[in-house]
């Protein structure tokens, strides 16, 4: 009975979202390219089996795409002044997986499936490949024709943002505080460079790191300082416990003061978000259900449909 109620809630949510983006629909390619979603899923599974860092990279790629120009694959466009060239996107990965999926689809259905849909589907399938929930998302997005580096920094979340700044950023994309907490659960997979959280430490006169952020567990901080001692360009797992599994361990880490970023710790430090963190930490099924809802909302941020976009022949350049 409970699962039926949850499904009804998701369907009501999707109905309201689809009303705002009338050209998107489930099984959008059923007639024009019925193998599209299968080809993306198989490409993601193959890439993830040979490189376990791929799911985290694909999921992060979607976030950085959707938060700038909307979910329109503008982050994929190459060029000296495009989003992809901005230093804020320098550590993004997964581009080759998107290109492989696009190339496979073009063999069967030329000029039919957008790169924007492939990015969204690949992120969806990356979560499933890492053991996370299966999510149905609508398709029919068009590819953006504009990609500007200067648009990146004002829109992406920095790892030292306060909760208020995160709430404002998410709200500007039509996402709620609940979406913020739930989508932060993406940090249950993936890895980050040491320089993304080095503001939580300071260097002494001998070059040794010292913890200055009291919201971080001391023993975890010691581990991070040892891992990052030799270079700030090294990477560490976002989730120190189950780094390759998409689960609710992230929230249990927050309860133990083991959030990697200041933005993670902020969720546990504030009354507006702490209760939901605790709920998600104690109930993995609740996290899965909420993830499905929030992920669909993320994948529909600022989508372009109809004449507002195009179907790129190559994901890395406009037609």
Which residue positions form the known binding site for Ca(2+)? 65, 68, 70, 72, 74, 83, 188, 239, 242, 247
Q: Determine contact, residues 192/243, Cβ cutoff 8 Å.
A: no
Q: Please tell me the distance from the alpha carbon of residue 260 to that of residue 194, in angstroms, as a whole number.
A: 10
Active-site choice (57, 64, 290, 312): 64
Task: Look at the block and give the residue holding tokens 């969204």.
Answer: 120
- Active-site residue, 193 included: no
Which residue positions form the known binding site? 65, 68, 70, 72, 74, 83, 187-188, 239, 242, 247
CA 125 to chain CA mean position, Å: 12
Task: Look at the block and give the residue holding tokens 């980050």.
Answer: 192
Q: Please tell me the distance from the alpha carbon of residue 87 to that of residue 107, in angstroms, as a whole number.
A: 34
Task: Look at the block and give the residue holding tokens 């309860």.
Answer: 255
- Which residues are designated catalytic? 64
């Amino acid at each position: 009975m409970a699962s039926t109620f949850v499904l009804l809630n998701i369907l009501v949510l999707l109905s309201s979202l689809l009303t705002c983006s009338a050209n998107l629909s489930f099984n959008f390619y059923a007639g024009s390219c019925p193998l599209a979603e299968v080809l993306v899923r198989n490409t993601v599974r193959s890439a993830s089996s040979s490189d376990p860092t791929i799911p985290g990279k694909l999921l992060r790629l979607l976030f950085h795409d959707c938060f700038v120009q909307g979910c329109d694959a503008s982050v994929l466009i190459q060029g000296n002044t495009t989003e992809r060239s901005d230093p804020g996107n320098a550590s993004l990965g997964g581009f080759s997986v998107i290109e492989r999926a696009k190339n496979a689809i073009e063999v069967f259905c030329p000029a039919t499936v957008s790169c924007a849909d492939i990015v969204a589907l690949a992120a969806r399938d990356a979560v499933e490949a890492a053991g996370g929930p299966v999510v149905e998302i609508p398709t029919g997005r068009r590819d953006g024709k504009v990609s500007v580096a200067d648009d990146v920094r004002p829109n992406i979340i920095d790892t030292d943002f306060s909760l208020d700044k995160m709430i404002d950023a998410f709200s500007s994309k039509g996402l709620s505080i609940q979406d913020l907490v739930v989508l932060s659960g993406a940090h249950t997979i993936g890895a980050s460079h040491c320089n993304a959280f080095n503001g939580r430490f300071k260097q002494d006169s001998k070059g040794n790191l010292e913890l200055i952020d009291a919201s971080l567990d001391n023993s975890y901080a010691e581990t991070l300082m040892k891992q990052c001692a030799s270079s700030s360009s090294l990477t560490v797992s976002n989730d120190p416990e189950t780094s390759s599994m998409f689960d609710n361990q992230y929230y249990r880490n927050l309860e133990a003061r083991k959030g990697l970023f200041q933005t993670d710790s902020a969720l546990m430090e504030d009354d507006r978000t702490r209760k939901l963190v605790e709920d998600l930490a104690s109930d993995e099924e609740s996290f899965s259900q909420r993830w499905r809802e929030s992920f669909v909302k993320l994948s529909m941020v600022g989508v372009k449909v109809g004449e507002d976009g195009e179907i790129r022949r190559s994901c890395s350049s406009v037609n």
